[in-house]
């Protein structure tokens, strides 16, 4: 009601003249019921932010009031042990790290995996501009989305913790805000945070973390390049991919085989579509298989190249070509 009187422009238009006083008790009861069943502090904050999104315009979430509100919520949650932490994405108590994992200052990487496909090369570049080692990596996405098929396996093997977000607009940035705004509680020696997202609404998360004394980097994708902004110093750097790092036909075959092995583990012999294989290759190397083939003068026929690979077998289905690893005992 105070906001309605003093900052009505923060509210969604239909609530600017709404009589909250008449429904205050019912409003609080419904909000409590919605948040009461949530299983962890992170999901509680996610639910709270999602609820606030229905009341306030985007500018509200970029301001100091929202930052202060989240900090107060974190403080209250830390003082009231409502959950035992069993559902905590971080797998640690609010007191710090797991035993043996909390020594030294670290950097934390948060990635909106649906909008930014961070390659191994890009990740190494981010590490090069950080002062501290990136020890915690968290990727946010709707992992049930067909476009993300098998990518969760690749990121998991690269050491990422995977956070599922429901489909819908703003879901990834809501969850990133909920988890990202509490990293300083779970990882007290974190000194740097890298936020990879194309959503400008995550500026409020940057503000929260900066008030806690953390150095914050924003990473957005422009074409094939990554633009990294250091919110502390104002410096901006651009990372231009230097290529796939694959220097020969044999190296390309070995890398394709390695990726296919990762995608089909722990069920070797499983067939996947060749488009899925190509997608994973591009996400890792920043170039498609056919682009690398052209650079190496290997032609441009992706399927023909796969047919020459001795460790692979292919089959044509109603849904297109599929590929699998050869079993030495039966496919030699």
Which pLDDT belongs to residue 4? 56
pLDDT, tens digit, for every residue of 196-235?
Answer: 987 766 777 888 788 888 999 999 988 778 899 998 888 9
Give yes or no for residue 85 having a pLDDT over 50.
no
Q: Tokens 């190494």 belong to which residue?
A: 124
- Greater pLDDT, 41 or 293: 293
- Whether residue 71 has pLDDT greater than 60: yes
CA distance 55 to 106: 36
Q: How far is CA 20 from CA 14, 17, 28, 315, in A?
A: 12, 9, 10, 63
Nearest-5° angle of CA 93, CA 179, CA 12?
Answer: 140
| Lowest model confidence (mean pLDDT) among 74-88, 105-119, 178-192, 243-257 | 74-88
Question: Is the same domain home to 196 and 157?
Answer: yes
Sheet holding 190-196: strands in order across? 161-164, 134-141, 106-112, 190-196, 215-222, 225-230, 236-239
The pLDDT score that the predictor gives to residue 91 is 44
pLDDT at 20: 60
The answer as to whether 310 is a domain residue is: yes
Q: Which domain holds residue 17?
A: 2-79
Show the CA angle centred on residue 59, arms to residues 231 and 47, nearest 5°.
95
Domain check: are 214 and 143 in the same one?
yes
Asked if the structure places residue 297 within a domain, the reply is yes
Q: What percent of the chain has pLDDT over 90?
A: 24
pLDDT band for 26, please (50, 70, 90 cuts): low
Which CATH number is 179's domain given? 3.40.50.1010
CB 265 within 8 A of CB 153: yes
Q: What is the C-alpha separation between 20 and 276, in angstroms, rounded?
A: 51
Tell me, yes or no, whether 145 and 217 share the same domain: yes
Q: Is 112 in the same domain as 211? A: yes
Q: Which of 31, 33, 47 is nearest to 171 (CA)?
A: 47
By DSSP bridging, strand 272-273 and strand 320-325 are antiparallel
- For residues 274-300, average pLDDT: 88
CATH of residue 317 = 3.30.420.610
What is the per-residue pLDDT across 93-137, written as a single tens digit (0 to 9) for each? Answer: 333 334 334 458 999 999 998 888 888 888 989 999 999 999 999
Q: How far apart are CA 30 and CA 54, in angstroms?
A: 14
How many domains are contained in the chain?
Answer: 3
At 139-197, the pLDDT tens digits run: 998 888 877 767 888 888 889 988 888 776 667 777 788 788 777 777 889 999 999 98
* pLDDT for the residue 306: 95
Q: Which residue has the higher pLDDT, 258 or 55?
A: 258
Instruction: Check whether residue 121 and residue 215 sit in a common domain.
Output: yes
pLDDT level of residue 315 (50, 70, 90 thresholds): very high
HSE, CB side, 13 Å, CA atoms: give it for residue 49. Answer: 33
What φ, ψ does residue 107 adopt, rounded to 5°? -115, 150
């Amino acid at each position: 009601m105070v906001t309605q009187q003093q900052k009505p422009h923060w509210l969604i238009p239909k609530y600017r003249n709404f009589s909250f006083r008449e429904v205050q008790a019912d409003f609080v009861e419904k909000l409590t019921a919605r948040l009461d069943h949530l299983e962890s502090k992170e999901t509680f904050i996610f639910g709270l932010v999602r609820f606030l999104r229905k009341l306030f315009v985007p500018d509200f979430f970029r301001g100091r009031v929202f930052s202060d509100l989240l900090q107060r919520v974190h403080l209250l949650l830390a003082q009231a042990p409502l959950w035992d932490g069993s559902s905590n994405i971080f797998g640690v108590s609010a007191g710090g790290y797991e035993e043996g994992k909390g020594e030294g200052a670290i950097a934390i990487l948060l990635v909106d995996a649906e909008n930014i496909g961070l390659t191994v090369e890009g990740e190494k570049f981010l590490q090069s501009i950080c002062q501290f080692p990136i020890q915690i990596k968290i990727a946010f996405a709707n992992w049930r989305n067909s476009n993300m098929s098998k990518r969760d396996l690749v990121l998991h093997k690269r050491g990422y913790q995977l956070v599922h977000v429901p489909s819908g607009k703003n879901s990834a940035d809501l969850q990133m805000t909920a988890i990202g705004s509490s990293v300083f509680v779970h990882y007290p020696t974190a000194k740097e945070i890298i936020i990879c997202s194309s959503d400008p609404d995550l500026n409020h998360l940057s503000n929260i973390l900066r008030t806690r004394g953390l150095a914050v980097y924003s990473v957005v994708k422009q074409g094939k390049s990554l633009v990294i902004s250091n919110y502390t110093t104002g410096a901006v750097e651009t990372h231009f991919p230097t290529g796939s790092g694959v220097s020969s036909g044999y190296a390309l075959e070995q890398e394709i085989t390695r990726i296919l092995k990762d995608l089909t583990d722990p069920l070797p012999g499983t067939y996947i579509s060749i488009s899925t294989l190509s997608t994973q290759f591009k996400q890792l190397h920043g170039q498609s298989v056919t682009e690398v083939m052209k650079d190496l003068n290997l032609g441009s026929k992706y399927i023909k190249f796969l047919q020459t690979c001795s460790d692979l077998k292919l089959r044509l289905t109603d849904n297109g070509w599929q590929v699998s690893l050869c079993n030495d005992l039966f496919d030699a």
